[in-house]
Structure 1
C-alpha cells in the first residue's frame, strides 16, 4: 500500500514537472509545500541581551513525507546586516500535515544601542528576518526552496544595575547587652561586646557565637535603562547568600520603576544565630563578598509585550558596607 501511494505521488509530481516545463508556470491547481512565520516574540532577558522566539509552520500537501533540509535566514536592522542563522536541519514533515516549530536567537543590548545611534532611533528599531526553507525528499524533484520574511520591532534599551549605600544597622548598646546576657554571657562581657561592636573596629570571629540578636541590612538597588524605550521595571525578589549559603530574602517596600532610571530601597533583618559569621565578616571587612540574586520583570508599553523575566546576581564588596545604628 505504501509503495502504491509513493507511485501515485510520483506520478502526480511528474505531471507537475511536465506541465511546469511546457508552460514555464506552476499550475495553480497543483499544491506545493509552503512556509509561514506565525509570530516573533520576546522570550527572556539576561545581562547580555534579549532572546526572541520565531514560531513558524511548514505545510506538506503531498501523500508522502518530506524533509526540511535547512532553514537559513538573514536578520537585518533597517536594512543593515545584523546576523545570519541556520536552524532546524533534518526535520521530518509527515504526509498531508502541517509541522509547527520554532527557533530562538539573541540580540545583544550593545548591538541595539549601536543601531539606535546609527539610525537616530530613540524608542524602537525595525528588524527583519528573511530567508529560505529548503525541502528535500520530493519524488522526481530533488528539492524546492521556499522563501519567507517577517518584520518585527525591538525596543531600544539596556538594563543596568548597581548597589549603593550598603549598611549594617546594629541594635542600640542596651539591646546588644540584653541579647548577650540572655545568651548566658556575663554583664561585664556583654558590655565589653557592645563597646567592641559600637566601635566599628574588627571583632573576634567567635564574638557572636550562640548570641540571639537581630541585625538589619539596608541598601539601594539602582536601576537604569541606557536606551530610550519606555519601560516598566518590577523587582520580584532579592535574596542574599554568602559562601554558597542562602541567608535571607530582602523586604521590598517599593518594587516598580516606570521612568528611565530609579532607586529601590531594600532592607533585611538577619539573626546572629544563623548569620553570625556573615555579620562578623561585614564588620571585619574580611571574607567572601555577599551575593544578591535578583528576580525581575521588564515590559514595554509601546510594544504591548508581556512582562519578560530577568534574573541576575551581583556582589557587594564587604569593604563597601558601613556600620551604623
Structure 2
C-alpha cells in the first residue's frame, strides 16, 4: 500500500470515529432531553417548598419522567397518588426522621462517578457531607434524628448473587463522628466472639434509644439479623436468613426480605415480619420478589418498592400476613413518613 493510500485509510478511520462520537453525544443529549419531558398519564409534579417537619406527609424520590425526576418530592400521606411537590434536591437513596434527612447522591465525573452522603436539616439544607466508597443502596435515620446510616456496594452491584462486598456506615449527626464501617465492631455469633475475613454488613435500622440498631450480617454464604450496640461497639446474631431489616415504630418487630429456595437467583426474596420477642416469622401477602429495605407506614402496614414503568413503584401490604399487596404510588422510591 502506498503512503498516499495509507493516509486516505487513516483519514477515513478518523472521520468514522468522529461520526460515531458525534452520534453518541447526540444520542446522550436526546436521552437527557427525554428524561426532562413529562410523560402522558404520569403524576403531576411541580416545584415548591419541601420540609421534613410537615406532619402527615410522605417524602420520597420522584421517579416520574420530567424535569423533577430523581428529586425529593412530597405528597400528603393520605393522598399518595395526588399531585407532587418537588424540592429540587436529587438523591439516589433517602430517608428522614425527626427533621433530619440523609440523601445519598452521585457526583458525575468525566471518567467515573463518585458518591456522597448529605445530612440534611428540616429545610433540606446540607449540614454535613461524607464520601461514600461505592454505589449507594440503603439509607436510614434513627427515630430521634441523632444517627444516620447508609450502605454502599464496594464490589459487585447486586445482593442477588454472592460476588459482592458492602460497606455500612453510621454517623452521629450532632457531633459529626463517623463510623465508616461496621466491620470494626466486635461480632458475637451464637454466643461466641466471631472473626472472619468475608464479613459484610448492610441495611441498618435504628431503635428509639439512640443506642440499639439492627442490621444484616453476611458470612460464609449465610445472612443473619444482628442487634448492635453503639456504646459497646458490638453486634450479636439473633436470627438466620434475614436481609435489609426494618424495625417497626413500636420496636417489637422487624420487617425484612428472606431468601426463599426455588426462586430465580436474580429474584430470590419474599417479605417477612419477625417478632423480636418470640422469634416467630410471618410471611407477608406479597408473592413477588422484593429487593428493598421496607418502611413501616405505621405499626400495621409495610411499604416497599418494586420495579415499575418509570423505574420503581411503591406498594403496601399488611404487616400481619393478611390481606393483599396494593399499589400505593407509581414512579416513587425511598419513602419516609413525617409524623
TM bucket normalised to smaller: under 0.3
TM-score (norm 2): 0.19
- Compare the two structures and name the one with the higher helix fraction: 1
